[in-house]
Amino acid sequence: MPLASDLVTSPIAILSALPQEQRGLMELLQRPRKVIHASRDFWLGDLHGQPVVLALSKIGKVAAATTTTALIERFGVLRIVFTGVAGGLGHGVKVGDVVVATDFVQHDLDASPLFPRYQVPLYGKTRFHCDAVLSALLFEASCHALAHESRMAHGFAGACVHQGLIASGDRFVSGADESRRLRDLMARAGHDVLAVEMEGAAVAQVCMDYGVPFAVMRTISDRADDSAHIDFPSFVDAVASRYARVVIERFLSKL
Ligand code: ADE
């Protein structure tokens, strides 16, 4: 458990997967300084008077684990927040909605019959939990942003914020049959998945290893169906950066 004085002085990390998702935050960053480490650009500076490090996880679980480890080991961050996009998997999780994660599971992890399907070997765990306090703040910030930012919700009538399980795997899920199969298979194993992406569970596992609290918000860019590969890039370019910026501004102002 970090001391309160450490939380004031150590930067909070804000992770995004892609440059397009980070762009809005970069525009707000005060006193930006770039540090290159582990073949990555880390941007130090202030957002809303708080010291922050902005970083890209890149795509996939291994890349995300490297960035997360570097943030903790090299930059001494004691809290990590991830903003990005995800494919909607759960019933009623629509493009334009936001999902704030409660916990993560790796949908492509299968060391059976040595270990139960989805369990992370030698951890004795299948799900990795997000920090309740940071997640509650992120949930509030997401609700506030959707309610008060008409430009944000523009084009997504009835957009709402969900809270629940996200599944990560090293695969872009882009087929209606595949996403239905994945949802049903996981539900049968007791995992009711709201959304699918490619990094969160790795960030969660590294954060658990180091005892670093973290929280994740993902805007739904596609339904992981046959048009996911078309919806994803246009959403990321047009909308994701704005969502991240508005939600993180509110989140930091309440921290
Ligand atoms: N991130 C955004 N959409 C996704 C999808 N359909 N599959 C995996 N990761 C995603």
The CATH code of the domain that includes 105 is: 3.40.50.1580
- Angstrom distance (rounded) from CA 235 to CA 221: 6
Domain that holds residue 19: 10-253
Residue 87 Cα to ligand 1 midpoint, Å, equals 4
Active site residue ranges:
21, 222
The pLDDT score that the predictor gives to residue 47 is 95
Which string of b and e fits 45-82 if b means at least 16 CB within 10 Å? Answer: bebeeeebbbbbbbbbbebbbbbbbbbbeebebbbbbb
In which residue are the tokens 């992120």 written?
A: 138
Residue 224 Cα to ligand 1 midpoint, Å, equals 6
- Angstrom distance (rounded) from CA 100 to CA 104: 11
In which residue are the tokens 């929280």 written?
A: 215
pLDDT one digit per residue (tens) for the chain, 255 residues:
556 556 667 899 999 989 988 999 999 999 999 999 999 999 999 999 999 999 999 999 999 999 999 999 999 999 999 999 999 999 999 999 999 999 999 999 999 999 999 999 999 999 999 999 999 999 999 999 988 876 665 667 788 999 999 999 999 999 999 999 999 999 999 999 999 999 999 999 999 999 999 999 999 999 999 988 888 888 888 888 888 999 999 999 998
The pLDDT score that the predictor gives to residue 152 is 61
- For residue 255, the SS3 value is coil
Q: For the chain, where are the alpha helices, taking DSSP H only?
A: 4-9, 19-28, 61-73, 132-148, 150-153, 176-188, 200-210, 228-235, 241-254
- For residue 184, the SS3 value is helix
Q: CA triplet 221, 225, 228: central angle to 5 degrees? A: 40
In sequence order, what E strands does 57-197 have? 79-88, 98-106, 128-129, 161-168, 193-197
Residue 2 covered by a domain: no
The pLDDT score that the predictor gives to residue 158 is 83
Closest CA to 144 of 31, 30, 251, 234: 251
Residue 1 covered by a domain: no
Q: Domain count of the chain?
A: 1
The pLDDT score that the predictor gives to residue 240 is 84
Closest CA to 209 of 80, 38, 117: 80
- Angstrom distance (rounded) from CA 228 to CA 220: 11
Q: Give the ligand 1 atom nearest the CA of 173.
A: 7
Q: Which residues line ligand 1 (CB under 6 A)?
A: 85-87, 172-174, 196-198, 221-222, 224, 228, 232
Q: Cis link prior to 11 (omega < 30° from 0)?
A: no
Contact at 8 Å (CB) between 79 and 8? no
The pLDDT score that the predictor gives to residue 171 is 97
The pLDDT score that the predictor gives to residue 128 is 98
Probe residue for ligand 1, chosen from 85, 170, 199, 218 as the CB with the greatest number of ligand atoms within 8 Å:
85
Residue 144 covered by a domain: yes
Residue 3 covered by a domain: no
pTM for the structure as a whole? 0.94
